[in-house]
Every structure is written in C-alpha cells, then in structure tokens.
C-alpha cells in the first residue's frame, strides 16, 4: 500500500524527532548521573577528611590529658608502694578528662597504680615495654591486650560479642582486646599511660555525623566497636563484621577502600581507611558513608522529568508536522494531476503559480519542464530520423565485415592445421635427439669407466716394473754377498791349511821330545783332524757358493728380462690411457652436441607450440569477429526497428 505525502512526512519526521529526544534525554540523564555521583564522592571525601581531623583531635586530647595528669602533684609525689593514693589521683583526673583509664608504670615495668583501683602488676604489653626505654611522649592507636584489660578490670566491660552479617565472614580473635588511643608521657623516670578506648565509646563517630551527616564507624580489625549504623531493630550494630571485599582490600592489601558498600542493611557511598599502630600494622578501620538513596531518588526524578519533557515535545512536533503536511498537500495534489496529464502525452498542460513561495517555484519549474519537454521531443524526432539512416549504413557495413571475417577465419584454420603437422614433426625430431643424447651419454659413461680401468692397469704395470727393478737389484746384492762368502771361504781354507802344517810340525816336535811330548802330540793330532774337517767344509761351502752364483746369474737374467718387459708394458699402458682419454674427450663432445641438439629441438617444439597457440587464438578471434559482425548487423537491424517504433511514439506527444 502506497502512503500519501502527509503520512510519509509524519512517518519520517516523528520517529527521527522522538529518537533525537530519546538520545538527548539519555545523554542528559547520564551526565546528570555522573554529576550526582561526583557530588556523592566529594561528599564522602569531605566526610573522611572530617573523620580524620576529629580522630587527630581526639589523639591530641588524650595526649594533653596525659600531660595534665603527669603534672598532678598527687601523682608525681606518690610513692610506688602507695598504689591506693596513686589510683585515687588517677581516677579523679581520668573522670574529668574523659579517659577510659590511666596508669602509672615504674621503670621496671610494674604498674604501680591505675584509675580503676587495680592492684600493682607487672605489664607484659609490648607497646609499654618499648615505651619504657624512650624519654619522648608518644600517642598512637593501639589494641590494648585482653590480659592487660583483665588486670586493670575492664575485660568484661569492653568485651564485644561478634555477630554474623550476610556479606561478612567472622574471623576468630578479632574482638579480643580493645582498640584505643594510647598516650605515654614520662613522669620523673616513670611513665604515665592514658587510654581512651573506642569500644562502645561513640564520641568520635557521633561527632562526625553531627558535623557532616551520613554514617561513621570505627572497626577493631574487622569488627564494629563504635558506630552510628543501626540494625533493623534501631540499635547500634556493635559486633557486626565488615563485608569480605572491604576486608580483603583494607586488612589484606593494606590500602583504602572507596566505592559502594552494603553496610548492615543499606547501600552507602563509603570510604574505609586503615588504622595503623605505632609499629605500622593495620589494626582497624575508620569508615564514613553517605546514603545513596537521595542520589538515586534524584536520578529517578531527573529521568522522569526528561521523559515527560520528551513526550510533550514529541506531541507538539507531531501536531506541527500534521499542520504543515496539510497545508502543503493541496498544491502538491494539483502538480500531481498535471503530471498525470503529461504522462498521457499532453505537454500543453500548465500549473497555476499560487500558494507558498516554494509551491510557486515548484509550479514555475513544472511549467518550465513541460516547455523543455516540447523542445526535447522535437529534437528527438529529428535525431531519430538521422539515427534510422545511420542504422541502415551500419547494417550494410556489418554484413560485409562478417563475410570477410568468415573468410579470414577459414584461412587461419588451414594455417593452424599445417602448423600442427609441423609441431608433430618437431616432436619426432625432439624425441630422436633425446634418444641420441641418451646413447651418447651411455657411451661417455662406458668410456669414462674404461679410462678408469686403464688408469688402474697402468698403475699396476708401474708397480710391476718397480718390483722387477727391485728384484734385479736384490739379485745383484745376492751376487755380491756370494762373492764375499767365497772370499771368506778361501781365507778359512788357507787358515785350515796352515793350521794343518802347524799341527804336523807340532807332532814332529812332540816325537822328538819323547815321553814328555806325548800329550802335546795328542793335541796336535786333534788340531790336524780339525783342520782337515775345516778344509773339507770350506770345500763344500765353495761348491755351494758356486751353485748360488750360478743361480744368481740366472736370476739376474730373468729379472732383467722382466724389467724390460715391464718397461715395455708400462709404455703401452700409458699409450692406452692417452688413447682412452682422447676417446673420453671425444665422447664428451659428442654428448654435449647431442644435448645441444636435443635442447634446440625442444626449443623449436616449444616455439611451434606457441605459434600454434597464437594461431588458435587468432582463429578464435576471427570467429569471434565474424560472430560480432553478424551480431552488429542484427543489432543495427534491431536499431532500425526501434527507430521506427520511437518515431511512432514521438508522434504520439501533443506539443501544440
């Protein structure tokens, strides 16, 4: 369903305006919320600063009270044994100065008197024990140990029962002792201790609330010991524990907590600051909080006011748009009716120029448009006539181009077939070249192997010739040794002959000597026999040496012949190796040439493939050109037909 101008104007403007108002309201509410939250944070910062100042004032007050008591003559002049008098003086001053209790500690750690009237005892409180060695007054927040409170008599009165809370965890032992302000002042070698506890003492928290409002609490570790926060029954929430997120930040991580906090039964904008003792340990927390309810109420009120204003503005804009659309719809309707007549071909229609300035301009523009259309129709009619003539010429030229393209495509097809035959022949040549290359490479490999074997044979022949020469040299050496042996044998035979003659002469001389030379005759006889034996051995050695010399002579002849044959074999082997090297070189050249032939054949094959591919592309282009020419001729014919129809359409317009 088509919408009217009025409906479209309302449908387009109203959502846009409502959206803008909604976005503006949202951004305003968000900014207002940020401002409110910032005011809340500033209020909490002011509260915590006031709480700090009041805590510092209380600490100064306790220190001042300790100094006042230290100047009391009843305390200064009291003997350590007079604990009753000391206790009375301390009780009087403590009551006037608002202290929980006061005590006088001797240099040895003995508490000689307290404002509670307790008997003297020896203190084990580390804070006091450390303070005995200092002559300077000190004041700090400390937890008085439970044993110290018991000796003073305050343990039962300051005991705090711990209560479970929905978001808090009870930690055993946190309520033991009493969180207090403790001041120590030297008094003539002794120490005056002034204690003001926070347990069930609401002076500080009430002062904070009186000055800045909100709520305030003092925690001993994680337990409320002084607070203005009340439970559902309207009682102060003493003994309740802090929430776990706050405990983790302040007591665990030892840093302040800032943000929203659910306290007993309500959510507050809160600040929790750690309380540290003189040793720097976190022993408690100081809390201030501002109720979030007024801030949340202000946010809701502002949001409702913004929403109401947006609704009123949206209603006013809807009424304004409705009125404007009603005023504008009449002239536009007239223009629409005139445009309908123009659509039927009547270009003589005119729209009256009345109404708003914009409507008058629209009417003048519409009338100018119809006048322009008259001129355009006249020009179109003339152009169509010229177009019909040009279309006829294009048709004739396209038909002629199609015939020539068909002839060209046929010629290209024949050339492509011839090139394909040439490619197949190139493929055969390439295959043959590859086969020749394979044979040449195999022959080259075989020749290289033969060259390797010939080299090995030549090396073996070189070694054989060297061995023959060494054999000849060894035979010559053996001949020299044989000659040396022969000479030695001659010398030995000569010595044996001489020894035989000497033995004969000795036998003659022994015979001349008679009985006295018989023993010497026996010796000479043995010597003569030995000489004959040596002479016979020398003869046999001489025969052996002659045989050895004959064998050595034959060995020298054989070694010389072998050396000569080895030399000739070495020469032949070297010649064979040179021949094989030449064969290997020639086979390498042959393989290189075959490889070059194969590469050239492959390149020719690839070139032929590229030519065939190019011719195929030319053939395809020729066919496409022929088809395009035919299509152009058909399109030109269609243009002629459309020109005729356009002429009949233009003539349907009424221009005068």
Strands (E) located in 473-558: none
> Tokens standing for 94?
């403590």
> Tokens standing for 231?
């439970």
> Tokens standing for 586?
């020639």
Looking at residue 392, what is its pLDDT? 66
φ, ψ for residue 281, nearest 5 deg: -85, 145
Looking at residue 446, what is its pLDDT? 67
Q: 531 burial class (0-12, 13-18, 19+ CB within 10 angstroms)?
A: buried
Name the stretches of the chain with pLDDT < 50: none
Q: Which residue has tokens 């030549």?
A: 458
Looking at residue 256, what is its pLDDT? 95
* Angle CA 459–463–466, to nearest 5: 140
Residue 2: HSE in the Cβ half-sphere, 13 Å Cα cutoff: 2
Q: Which residue has tokens 């010796």?
A: 523
Q: Please, are residues 334 and 351 in contact by the beta-carbon 8 Å criterion?
A: yes
Rounded Cα gap, residues 227 and 530, in angstroms: 148
Rounded Cα gap, residues 267 and 428, in angstroms: 99
Q: Which of 442, 458, 448 is nearest to 581 (CA)?
A: 448
User: Which residues are CB-contacts of 244 (< 8 A; sequence separation ≥ 6)?
Assistant: 167, 168, 169
Number of H helices, E strands in the chain: 10, 11
> Tokens standing for 168?
């808090």
Q: Which of 270, 258, 267 is nearest to 208 (CA)?
A: 270
> Tokens standing for 621?
């282009």
Looking at residue 261, what is its pLDDT? 79
Rounded Cα gap, residues 356 and 140, in angstroms: 86
pLDDT digits (tens, 9 = 90+) for 290-303: 877 765 665 566 56
Looking at residue 201, what is its pLDDT? 92
Q: Which domains does the chain have, with CATH numbers?
A: 21-302 (3.30.450.40), 370-650 (1.10.287.950)
pTM above 0.85, yes or no: no
Instruction: For residue 192, give the 3-state DSSP assignment.
Output: strand
Q: How far is residue 127 CA from its own chain's centroid?
A: 54
């Amino acid at each position: 369903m088509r919408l009217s101008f009025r409906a479209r104007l309302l449908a387009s403007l109203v959502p846009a305006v409502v959206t803008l108002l909604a976005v503006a309201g949202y951004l305003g509410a968000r900014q207002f919320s940020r401002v409110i939250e910032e005011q809340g944070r500033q209020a909490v910062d002011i509260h915590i600063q006031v709480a700090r100042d009041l805590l510092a004032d209380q600490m100064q007050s306790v220190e001042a009270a300790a100094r006042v008591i230290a100047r009391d003559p009843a305390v200064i002049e009291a003997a350590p044994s007079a604990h009753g008098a000391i206790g009375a003086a301390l009780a009087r001053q403590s009551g006037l100065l608002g202290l929980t209790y006061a005590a006088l500690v001797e240099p040895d750690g003995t508490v000689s008197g307290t404002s509670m009237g307790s008997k003297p005892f020896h203190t084990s409180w580390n804070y006091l024990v450390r303070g005995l060695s200092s002559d300077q007054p000190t004041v700090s927040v400390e937890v008085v140990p439970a044993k110290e409170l018991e000796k003073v008599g305050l343990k039962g009165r300051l005991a705090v029962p711990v209560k479970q809370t929905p978001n808090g965890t009870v930690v055993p032992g946190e309520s033991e002792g009493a969180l207090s302000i403790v001041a120590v002042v030297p008094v003539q070698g002794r120490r005056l201790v002034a204690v003001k506890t926070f347990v069930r003492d609401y002076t500080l928290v009430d002062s904070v609330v009186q000055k800045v409002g909100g709520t305030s609490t003092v925690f001993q570790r994680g337990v409320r010991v002084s607070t203005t926060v009340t439970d559902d029954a309207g009682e102060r929430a003493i003994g309740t524990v802090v929430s776990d997120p706050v405990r983790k930040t302040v007591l665990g991580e030892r840093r302040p907590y800032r943000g929203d906090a659910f306290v007993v039964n309500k959510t507050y904008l809160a600040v929790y600051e750690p309380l540290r003792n003189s040793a720097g340990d976190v022993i408690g927390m100081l809390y201030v909080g501002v109720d979030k309810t007024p801030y949340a109420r202000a946010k809701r009120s502002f949001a409702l006011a913004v929403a109401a204003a947006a609704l009123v503005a949206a209603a006013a804009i809807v009424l304004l748009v409705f009125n404007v659309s009603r005023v504008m719809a009449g002239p536009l309707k007239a223009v629409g009716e005139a445009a309908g007549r123009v659509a039927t071909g009547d270009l003589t229609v005119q729209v009256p120029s009345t109404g708003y300035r914009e409507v008058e301009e629209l009417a003048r523009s519409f009338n100018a448009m119809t006048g322009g259309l008259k001129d355009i129709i006249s020009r179109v009619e003339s152009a169509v006539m010229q177009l019909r003539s040009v279309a006829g010429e294009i048709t004739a030229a396209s038909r002629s181009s199609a015939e020539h393209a068909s002839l060209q495509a046929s010629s290209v097809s024949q050339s492509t077939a011839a090139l394909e035959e040439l490619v197949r022949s190139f493929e055969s040549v390439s295959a043959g070249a590859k086969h020749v290359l394979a044979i040449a490479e195999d022959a080259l490999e075989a020749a290289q192997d033969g060259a390797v074997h010939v080299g090995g044979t030549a090396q073996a022949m070189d070694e054989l010739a060297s061995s023959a020469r060494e054999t000849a040299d060894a035979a010559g050496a053996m001949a020299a040794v044989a000659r040396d042996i022969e000479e030695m044998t001659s010398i030995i035979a000569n010595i044996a002959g001489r020894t035989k003659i000497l033995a004969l002469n000795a036998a003659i001389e022994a015979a001349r000597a008679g009985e006295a030379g018989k023993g010497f005759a026996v010796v000479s006889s043995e010597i003569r026999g030995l000489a004959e034996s040596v002479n016979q051995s020398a003869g046999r050695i001489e025969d052996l040496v002659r045989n050895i010399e004959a064998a050595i002579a034959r060995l020298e002849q054989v070694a010389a012949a072998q050396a000569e044959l080895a030399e000739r074999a070495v020469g032949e082997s070297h010649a064979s190796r040179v021949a094989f090297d030449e064969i290997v070189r020639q086979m390498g050249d042959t393989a290189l040439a075959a490889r070059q032939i194969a590469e050239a054949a492959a390149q020719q094959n690839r070139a032929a493939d590229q030519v065939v591919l190019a011719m195929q592309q030319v053939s395809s282009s020729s066919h496409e050109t022929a088809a395009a020419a035919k299509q152009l001729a058909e399109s030109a014919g269609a243009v002629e037909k459309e020109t005729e129809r356009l002429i009949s359409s233009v003539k349907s317009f009424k221009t005068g």
